[in-house]
Amino acid sequence: MSTCHDMKKGEIFVCEDCGIELQVIKECANIHKSSGECGCHPSSDPCTFSCCGKSLIKKES
pLDDT tens string 14-28: 999 999 999 999 988
With a cut of 90, say whether residue 58 has pLDDT above it: yes
Strand positions, DSSP E, the chain: 12-14, 21-23, 50-51, 54-55, 57-58
Mean pLDDT value across the chain = 83
Between strands 21-23 and 54-55, the pairing is unpaired
